[in-house]
Structure formats: structure tokens, C-alpha cells
């Protein structure tokens, strides 16, 4: 539902409010899209064809990073569809435009309502999973089943955000980072801590550890 404050604001105040909100919403949209790109790169690297069978550590890394991405992606969907009073979300913004369409020339309330309902329908499976599995403590379902639902929700959110960013701001939302730095994946391919023979300048020489029962060199046993 639209905020009660919306009815009291002038057209100029609404315009400023909606520009601030769509900027904020657009930033999160690009942020989560960039993270999805990185997740897919790491996922593809983990499941790349191998000369040997998968090891347990590969399976653990794949499950760990996938669950991290699902948590972040699903919580982003939940924030974008939050319709509580006082929240800054895509759903709340559409409610406000729907209630005050005169503040946005060329936009009809019926069109905004249709966009909002289509968005909520597409995002419903991902939102339900987020509400049950992340916001509340219930038995954990198979998270990988929700991966396609998450992708569909994020794509729908991205399309609506870009449409209304163009309408409200008057220009397209800059595209999110499609490809990270080419060397970004090297952190997964190159060992982080390799033993070297050269000691860093200024570093103290490390002495080999001795066992408690060993005597220092040159010591003599008492008769």
C-alpha cells in the first residue's frame, strides 16, 4: 500500500522523492546483478570439465558458495518487494505512483498496477522461499530448486526498475558490470600463500622448533 505521506506531498515533492527512491533501487539492482555474474563465473569454474572425478572439497565449495548467493539474492528480492509502510522498495514505489499518477506525466494508474501485479506474480515463488527459509526458522528445503525462481525474479525486477528509471529520471539506468576484471578468478586458481625461500626484508629469521625433551646442542648429560 502507498504511504499515507504520499497523499500530502506536492507534485514537486513527489518527483524528488521518487527520483531518490528509484536511484537507490537501481543501485541495488545493479549491485545484485553484478554479484550474480560473479557467482556464475565461480560456479562454472567449479563445475568445469575435469580429468579426475569431483573431490569432496569441490562439492563443499560449490554448495557453500551457492548457498551464500541464494541467501543474498533472495534477500534482495524480499527487499524489493517489501510493501511495509516506511520501506524503500520497488513495490512501494509502484504503489505510490499508482495512487498519484498525476505526478508522472504519461503514466496511467492502470499500467502501473498491471506492472506491479505481474512483478509480484513472477516473484512469488522466490519471495515465498525467502520468507520461509531465510526470514523464519523452518526446516531447510532444497535450495537449488529455488535457483530458477530466483533468476526469474531478478530478471523481472531488473526489467521493471529500468522501465521506471527511464520514466522518472528521464534516462536509462546505466548497465551493471557485465564482466569483472579478467584476473578476478585468479584468486581461485592461484595459491594465496606459497612458501618462499627468500625472507622478506626486515623479517626475523625463524628458528626451528625443538621438542621439549631435546637438549640444545653442546649440552652434556650429567654423570
Strand, coil or helix: 122? helix
The answer to the question of residue 215 being in a domain is no
User: How many domains would you assign to the chain?
Assistant: 1
Q: Which long-range contacts (CB under 8 A, 24 or more apart) does 98-107 make?
A: 98/2, 99/2, 99/6, 99/7, 100/2, 100/6, 100/7, 100/9, 100/14, 102/11, 103/11, 103/14, 103/15, 103/18, 104/15, 104/18, 104/167, 104/168, 106/167, 107/167
Listed in sequence order, the DSSP H helices in the chain are 11-46, 56-80, 90-99, 109-129, 147-169, 186-189
**pLDDT tens per residue across span 132-143:** 877 666 565 555
Residue 210 inside a domain? The answer is no
Is residue 33 in some structural domain?
A: yes
Q: Mean pLDDT across the stretch 1-14?
A: 82
Residue 220 belongs to some domain of the structure: no
Residue 85 lies in a domain: yes
Domain with 17, as residue range(s), is 11-189
Residue 64 located in a structural domain: yes
Indicate the pLDDT class of residue 213, thresholds 50, 70 and 90: very low
pLDDT at residue 66, as a whole number: 87
Q: Provide the pLDDT for residue 106.
A: 86
Residue 199 in any domain: the answer is no
Three cell numbers, residue 167 = 520514466
Amino acid at each position: 500500500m502507498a504511504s499515507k505521506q504520499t497523499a500530502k506531498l506536492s507534485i514537486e515533492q513527489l518527483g524528488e522523492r521518487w527520483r531518490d527512491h528509484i536511484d537507490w533501487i537501481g543501485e541495488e539492482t545493479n549491485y545484485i546483478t553484478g554479484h550474480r555474474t560473479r557467482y556464475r563465473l565461480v560456479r562454472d569454474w567449479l563445475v568445469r570439465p575435469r580429468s579426475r572425478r569431483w573431490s569432496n572439497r569441490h562439492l563443499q565449495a560449490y554448495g557453500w558458495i551457492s548457498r551464500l548467493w541464494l541467501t543474498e539474492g533472495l534477500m534482495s528480492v524480499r527487499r524489493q518487494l517489501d510493501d511495509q509502510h516506511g520501506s524503500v522498495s520497488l513495490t512501494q514505489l509502484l504503489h505510490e505512483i499508482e495512487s498519484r499518477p498525476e505526478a508522472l506525466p504519461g503514466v496511467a494508474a492502470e499500467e502501473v498496477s498491471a506492472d506491479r501485479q505481474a512483478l509480484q506474480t513472477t516473484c512469488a515463488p522466490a519471495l515465498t522461499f525467502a520468507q520461509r527459509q531465510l526470514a523464519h526458522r523452518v526446516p531447510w528445503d532444497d535450495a537449488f530448486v529455488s535457483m530458477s525462481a530466483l533468476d526469474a525474479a531478478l530478471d523481472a525486477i531488473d526489467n521493471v526498475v529500468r522501465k521506471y528509471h527511464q520514466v522518472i529520471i528521464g534516462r536509462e539506468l546505466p548497465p551493471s558490470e557485465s564482466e569483472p576484471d579478467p584476473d578476478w578468478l585468479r584468486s581461485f586458481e592461484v595459491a594465496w600463500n606459497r612458501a618462499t625461500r627468500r625472507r622478506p626484508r626486515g623479517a626475523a629469521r625463524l628458528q626451528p622448533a625443538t621438542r621439549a625433551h631435546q637438549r640444545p646442542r653442546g649440552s652434556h648429560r650429567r654423570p
